[in-house]
Amino acid sequence: MLISTLLANKGSEVATIRGDATVADAVDELSRHHVGALVVSADGERIEGIVSERDVVRKMSERGNAVLGEPVSSIMSTTVHTCALEDDTESLMRTMTERRIRHVPVVDNDRLVGIVSIGDVVKIRMEELEKNRSELIEYITAR
């Protein structure tokens, strides 16, 4: 399945946050949107980084609660792996597994247009497997 099809089904909303917002603000936004990562962007289109729940937890372990007052830019990942609308979910799943990442922003002409989580990819794969299973059962019982 193409990423464009996946986004058409799930929606293209992306939770973003500015790099100068505090980590406490990021925690609030993660909770409010019920997501595991926020794309760091000043304008909602250009990607500056990504910050995940894991980033917050790891930095709190290192620096304590003081990290909550620091800017998101101090804990975000600046190397962001992205995908394109014309990429397929199988190659994205491979990339996510190999790079051990759970959230991949989708870009079109260097502009943020969506985000795909590992949960989205697993859900699609499970639906594909269930469809294949149903087709096989139908084929076998039709004989």
Q: Which domains does the chain have, with CATH numbers?
A: 3-141 (3.10.580.10)
Give me the pLDDT at residue 125, please: 86
CA atoms within 13 A on the CB side of 76: 27
Give me the pLDDT at residue 142, please: 81
Q: What tens-digit pLDDT sequence spans the chain (143 residues)?
A: 899 999 999 999 999 999 999 999 999 999 999 999 999 999 999 999 999 999 999 999 999 999 999 999 999 999 999 999 999 999 999 999 999 999 999 999 999 999 999 999 999 888 888 888 888 888 888 86
DSSP 57-107: HHHHHHHGGGGGGSBGGGTSBS----EETTSBHHHHHHHHHHHT-SEEEEE
